[in-house]
Amino acid sequence: MILIADSGSTKTQWRMLQPDGSISQARTSGYNPHHQTATEIKDLVQSELLPQLPAGNKPASIHFYGAGCSSEKSKSIVRMAFREVFPDVAVVVEHDLLAAARALCGTEPGIACILGTGSNSCFYDGSEITHNVYALGWIMGDEGSGSDLGKRVVADYLRYDMPDHLRQLFKQEHDITAEDVLDKIYRQPFPKPYIASFARFLHNNLQDPWCYRQVYNSFKSFLERNVVKYPDYQQHKLHFVGSVAYHYADVLRKAASDMGLRVHHILENPIAGLTLYHQSTRET
C-alpha cells in the first residue's frame, strides 16, 4: 500500500493505493512544520490517521506533500514524525507546490500555479520544479489569492472607495472598523485566513462590475508578476489549482486570454491528480 497526502494548515487529504489498484481515502487535520513540532504531528497521525487505515495493512511508502515543507529543516520535522509511527517505511516529504505541479502536469512540462488562500507558481519539467518566482507571502505578494482579494475588498471599504450600494451591503454582512481589522492582522493569530475570508463577498456579488473588476485585476497582477517571468512562458501549458482558481475560473480564463495566454487544467485541489501521478509512475 502507498499512502499519499496533500496537507494544508487546516486539513490533510489522504489516498491509499493498494497493490490491486483499488483506492481508499481518509481525512485528518493539517500538518504544518512551521506551526507544529514533530511530536505534535506524530500524536495527530496516531490519533487521526491510524484508525482510518485498513487493519494489518502496513504502508510500503508514504508520499507527503505539505504546506510549509519547502526547506530541508521543515521536511525533516515531518519525516521524523512519520518514522516514529512507521519506523520501517520509506517517507518522502515534498512541498505543496510540487504536489500542484505533479497533479496538474503529470509527467509533462508546464507552468503550475496555486491560487488559494495564498498563491504560488513554478515551471515544472515533467519531473521536478526548475524555476520558481518568489510568492513573497500575503503581505508583499500572493497576487490572485484569497488574501489578495480580501485585502482589496477591506481596504476599499474602509477608505470609502467601494461603491455606495456595495458598501451598504458589505456593512450589513461585516460591520467592521479599521481598528477591528488592524487588531486581527497585527495582534491575533492567523491573520491571512481572516483577511482571505472577505473574498467571498466578491464571489457572492460577481455580477457587479466593481466586484468583477477586483477579481480580474488581481488575476492580471498574478499573471504579470509571476507567470510571464518564466522562460518561454507562452510555449508551455498553463495550469491552476486551488479554491480561488476553481471558483473564479471564468474570470481567470478571461484575464489570461486578454494577455494571450490559454489556461488548460483548473482543479479545486490536487489529490486526485496526485493519485493518478503516483499510479502512472508506480512510485513506491
- For residues 269, 6, 271, 254, the Cα torsion angle rounded to the nearest 10 degrees is 20
Q: What is the DSSP letter of 51?
A: G
Distances (CA, A) of 270 to 108, 128, 197, 239: 16, 16, 21, 12
Q: What is the mean pLDDT of residues 34-59?
A: 88
- For residues 258, 260, 265, 268, the Cα torsion angle rounded to the nearest 10 degrees is -30
% of the chain surpassing 70 pLDDT: 99
Tell me the pLDDT of the chain averaged across its residues. 91
CA 81 to chain centre: 22
109 pLDDT higher than 70: yes
Question: How high is the pLDDT of residue 58?
Answer: 83
Strands 119-124 and 110-115: antiparallel
Q: Could you read off the pLDDT of 205-225 as tens digits, one per residue?
A: 999 999 999 999 999 999 999
Dihedral of alpha carbons 185, 187, 190, 194, sign: negative
For the ranges 58-72, 148-162, 200-214, 256-270, the lowest mean pLDDT is seen at: 58-72
Question: How high is the pLDDT of residue 117?
Answer: 85
Q: Could you read off the pLDDT of 75-87 as tens digits, one per residue?
A: 999 999 999 999 9
User: Contact, 105 vs 99, CB < 8 A?
Assistant: no
Question: How high is the pLDDT of residue 284?
Answer: 40
Question: How high is the pLDDT of residue 9?
Answer: 67
- pTM as predicted: 0.85
% of the chain surpassing 90 pLDDT: 72
Residue type, 87: P
- CATH architecture under which domain 139-216 falls: Orthogonal Bundle (1.10)
State in words which class domain 2-101+271-281 has.
alpha beta
Where are the domains positioned within the chain?
2-101+271-281, 139-216
Q: Could you read off the pLDDT of 123-138 as tens digits, one per residue?
A: 999 989 999 998 877 7
CA distance 205 to 199: 10
